[in-house]
Amino acid sequence: MQYGGRFPLAALCLGVLLCAPIAAWGQSRESERIALMDEIRDDVSHTAELIQGEPLDPRVEDALLTVPRHEFVPLAQRRHAYENRPLPIGYGQTISQPYIVALMTDLLDPQPDDVVFELGTGSGYQAAVLAELVAEVHSVEIVPQLAASARTRLADLGYDNVQATHGDGYYGKPGAAPFDAIIVTAAATHIPPPLVEQLRPGGRMIIPVGPAFHLQHLMFVEKDAAGAVRTRSVLPVSFVPLTGGH
């Protein structure tokens, strides 16, 4: 899905997945994954002026090619799993467009030794992509049923470097901080101060900021070695709103 011609939309991955038991997936649907990656590269080229003209990191491309997206959508949607668009997964919510997942992951510049915090586990797809690239992923989901199903799914797929827990991710996860990178998969009206505090000096955050159900901006946040914070807008997006007691 796109906004204003070529601008992609994204949404927090929420909803109960009515999926069949996890199957062996090594090279499953490989040709579809390759075709999807070609479409993602095309989107990158069309938004080059907004994302500073850099191609995707090959490691990020490999992660997108590896993670079985069809295991993170309901059975009724599996035939569409490798289309470059969000898909409904229940609760009126969607799994995000693969281009947005690729872009947000790439902007974080994930490194093998990184510890990453994710606000909004949803189906677990974004966490799985990150798990291919970093040492640890700590993901917090505010809907308890979703946290439980994602935790089971990720474990069944062998992602033992992901901890998916139930809670209000606005407040981060102080016990696991500081984080090298933070990714937020729902639109906040502002950048949460607890997340800024839990970002390591030199760390990066990617977060959609703006009013609920209106145009928002994907923001890149960087904390320098002295603790100063810089932000820049990457491109317009549309995410579901961040919820919680804050």
Catalytic center residues: 96
CA-nearest of 104, 76, 101, 66 to 86 is: 101
As beta bridge partners, residue 165 has 140
Place of tokens 């990191």: 57
DSSP string, 188-235: BSS--HHHHHHEEEEEEEEEEES-TTS-EEEEEEEE-TTS-EEEEEEE
CA distance 217 to 204: 16
C-alpha distances (whole Å) from 45 to each of 36, 102, 116, 197, 208 are: 14, 13, 27, 34, 21
Task: Give 99's DSSP letter.
Answer: H
CA distance 149 to 65: 23
CA distance 226 to 1: 39
